[in-house]
Amino acid sequence: MSAASGENEVEDVHVYRFTEETAPDQVLNEAGERVGELPENAADLALQWYPFMVFCRKFDERAQLLQRQGRLGTYAPFRGQEAAQIGSFAALRPDDWIFPSYRELAGMMYHGLEPWHALLKSRGHPNAGHMPEGLNMAPAQIAIAAQVLHAVGAGWACKLQGTDRVSVAYFGDGATSEGDFHEGMNFASVMQLPVVFFCQNNQYAISVPVKRQTASPTIAQKAIAYGMEGLRVDGNDVFAVYQAMRYAVDRARRGDGPTLIEAVTYRLGPHTTADDPTRYRDAADVEAWAHRRDPLVRLRAWLTRQGLWDDARQAACEAEAEARVRRAVEEMESCPNKPLEEAVLHVYAETPESLASQLGARRKGAT
Amino acid sequence: MPKMTMIEAIRDALAIALREDPRVVVFGEDVGRNGGVFRATDGLQAEFGEARVADTPLAEKAIVGTAVGLAMAGMKPVAEIQFLGFAYEAMDQIAAQLARIRFRTQGRFTAPAVIRAPYGGGVRTPELHSDSLEALFAHTPGLVVATPSRPYDAKGLLLAAIHAQDPVIFLEPIRLYRAFREEVPSDAYDVPLGRAAVRREGSDVTLIAWGPTVTVAESAADQVSARGIDCEVLDLRTLAPLDRSAIQASVEKTGRAVIVHEAVRCAGLGAEIAATIMELAFYHLRAPIERVTGLDTPYPPPALEDAWLPSVTRVVEAIERVMED
């Protein structure tokens, strides 16, 4: 009888398994009612955040339209994820290090990237990556999860430099399948670096649902294997995101090491303007997230319940957001294009002779 | 002046860099307590502490990727990939990240990290421990690629790499780590990046080599000199950006060129050098350019490597061919 026949199964082993799918932490439920602990100055924060979320939503919708009109190139919409981004960026300081992916424009604009500048990447403009002086924010990363390791390196620098700065990696659910995610989580935890791994689980990596990325019930629990703390929050609840991020940032500043945050959210738009999500997502799936669980709807409901918001304020807020988007588009479109020399200038600190001679040959109309 | 092997000169350069600049961090697999598998970092952790000479988890992507972040945040990382063949593990971080930070951000951020890696054959290693991958990095705009052929250059080039404002892939020929000693100043000095060195002046043939093949070229030059063939040996030292004017000047003088590299031939750096000679010195050529290289195969097992590698004999034969008629 072979040992593999099932007659004689091994039972006396210690199995490590974590199968719990905990509900994400909430401060506001989907009706906008308080179910958790609000930050102290919740009303002030909400009155600052909500109009910015409205602006971001208009910005995002407009950018997608501009692509359809041929005025922008490929654009990756973020709508549905405004709370996850603004709530987390709001817990950071200007001198913290931030390494975003390409779907973080709402957070990046909240942090200080001018809206016209935020459009330059889709414009294909070479200055898109020249981030504002005074902010330690990298430009949007295109390779999935590559920026996770940069954030770990910058966090290592913060520790070596003896500062209380923290470093944050922003990425999506798909990125957790990449080796860079594993190496970064492991490295940061072994070295006890001041890093926050902020995952927006927006349910899809282009067309592939999160169940196809991981057999773990949650992304947050991946922290456990690295000896790290993991948090799981409702990413469409801006207060819950903010509280989770404050918790992780405070730990990092104190020298208590890295934290993984999973913000459970949903990408309401396509992956990019080059994608048709109706090929892989049911309308009912989108519908479930589009209204009742929309982060803007939830925060507005809370503000209204507090007596801080009404239809008149909403109308004024929307008008102002639209005007701001209009100005951003005008400024982006009036940004002058650059000559080919621009591509040569920033490859090395000093342009090598071989490269300069290639450019010289172009000028003379040779090869 | 002390006499040092190449590995001692490299260790000396690292110690100087750690001493002179508090931003310098040396890290990689086994570089701390063990002092590196070749002893390039021997004793450095004891002298400079675990924070600045750090053992990392076994993760090449993370070694390069964290070097990118460290450098962006103002540190001066000197990272080690234990053997160059394992740089394949880190290629996205090297080619798509490290090399492009300056370009991507239009100079707003830079990543002047140094990635050191032992490479090259002839020392009977397991698979992936002997590969010469310099062409991959030379093909990647934004990277400086340097490789010494002697202890003096190893120290000065490494210090220049650490002082550079661009990322440098620093390739260390394993075979030469302990091959010979030469006088190496104890003080700090830079051997400038981007400049080739004429190791031997000659008028008949230019032998172009780098790293482990320089000594092969020098031996071949010695052999043929008895027969009255006068070879010039050009040690490129920096492979990207190429010192085109040094190549041009030498070939204009000799009219003949033999390029010697361990890497596979197809799309190897020899092809780029041959094309450069065609562009800059074609009318001075008296014979077709010869290449003495590895075969277009993966690096072979130890039992085959002596036959596979460029040998003095094969270089001599190539010299004889370019000297015909």
State the Cα–Cα distance between residues A300 and A163, nearest whole angstrom.
38
Of B102, B105, B165, the CB nearest to A139: B105
Between A and B, how many residue pairs show a Cβ–Cβ distance under 8 A? Answer: 143
- How distant is the Cα of B168 from the closest Cα of chain A, in angstroms? 11
Identify the three-state secondary structure at position B169.
Answer: strand
What's chain B's length in residues? 325
Question: Is A80 in contact with A296 (CB distance < 8 Å)?
Answer: no
Distances (CA, A) of A334 to A123, A241, A337, B140, B296: 11, 36, 9, 33, 52
Helix axes A42-68, A295-305, angle to 10 degrees: 150
Q: Give the DSSP letter of residue A97.
A: E
Mind listing the pLDDT tens digit for each residue in B239-280? 999 999 999 999 999 999 999 999 999 999 999 999 999 999
Q: Please list the alpha-helical segments (H only) found in A81-145.
A: 82-89, 105-111, 115-118, 120-123
* Inter-chain residue contact B71 with A126, CB threshold 8 Å: no
Q: How far apart are CA A166 and CA A173, in angstroms?
A: 22
> At B303, which amino acid appears?
A
Hey, is the C-beta of B228 within 8 angstroms of any chain A C-beta? no
**A149/B104 CB distance under 8 A:** no
Which DSSP string do the residues of B87-148 spell out, in sequence order? Answer: GGGGHIIIIIIGGGHHHHTTTSS----EEEEEE-SSS-PPTTSS---HHHHHTSTT-EEE--
d(CA A347, CA A53) in angstroms, rounded, equals: 37
Chain B residues close to A346, C-beta within 8 Å: 102-103, 105-107
Mean pLDDT over the full length of chain B: 98
Task: Kindly give the pairing relationship between strand B144-146 and strand B238-240.
Answer: antiparallel
Nearest alpha carbon to residue A189 among B56, B35, B228 = B56
Angle between helical axes of B213-225 and B312-323 (0-180°, round to 10): 50
Position A5 pLDDT exceeds 70? no
The nearest CA of chain B is from the CA of A200 a distance in Å of 21
Question: Is-contact B50 B29, C-beta < 8 A?
Answer: no
Is the pLDDT at A4 greater than 70? The verdict is: no
Instruction: With a cut of 70, say whether residue A172 has pLDDT above it.
Output: yes
A288 touches chain B (CB under 8 A): no
Q: Which residue of the set A267, A293, A298, A300 is catalytic?
A: A267
Q: Could you say which DSSP state residue B37 is in? A: T
CB B172 within 8 A of CB B117: yes
Contacts of B266 (CB under 8 A, 6+ apart): B296
Q: Test A347 with B102 for CB contact under 8 angstroms.
A: yes
pLDDT on residue A6: 61
CA separation (Å) from B237 to B5, B64, B170, B213, B243?
17, 23, 10, 11, 9
Q: Using one digit for the tens of pLDDT, what is the confidence trace for A18-68?
A: 888 899 999 999 999 999 999 999 999 999 999 999 999 999 999 999 999
> What are A37's two structure tokens?
């602990």
Question: Is residue B172 very low, low, confident or very high in pLDDT (cuts 50, 70, 90)?
Answer: very high
pLDDT band with cut points at 50, 70 and 90 for residue B325: low
Nearest Cα residue to B51 out of B71, B20, B26? B26
Q: How far is CA A178 from CA A28, A167, A219, A267, B237, in A?
A: 33, 20, 13, 20, 36
Residues 6+ apart with CB under 8 A from A229: A223, A248, A251, A259, A260
Is there a contact between B106 and A129 if contact means CB atoms under 8 Å apart? yes
Phi, psi of B112 (to 5 degrees): -80, 65
Residue count (chain A): 367
The neighbour count for residue A144, using CB atoms within 10 Å, is: 20
Q: In this complex, is the C-beta atom of A153 within 8 Å of any C-beta atom belonging to chain B?
A: yes
Within 79-108 of A, beta carbons closer than 8 Å to B belong to 97, 99
Judge whether A83 and A236 are in contact, CB under 8 Å. Answer: yes
> Do B194 and A352 make contact, defined as CB atoms within 8 angstroms?
yes
CA distance linking residue A321 with residue A313, whole number of Å: 12
Query: Residues B67-99: pLDDT tens digits?
Result: 999 999 999 999 999 999 999 999 999 999 999
Distance CA A161, CA A165 (A): 9
Residue of A97, A135, A150, A345 to mutate for B, most B C-beta atoms under 10 A: A150
Residue among B21, B56, B68 with most chain A CBs within 10 A, to mutate? B68
Active site residues of B: 129
Give residues with Cβ within 8 angstroms of A117, minimum separation 6. A128, A132, A332
**How far is Cα B305 from Cα A209, in angstroms, rounded to an integer?**
49
Is the ipTM value over 0.90, yes or no? yes
What is the distance between the alpha carbons of residues B83 and B177, in angstroms, rounded to a whole number? 13
Q: Does position A250 have pLDDT exceeding 80, yes or no?
A: yes
> In chain A, what residues touch B106 (CB-CB under 8 Å)?
126-127, 129-130, 342, 345-346
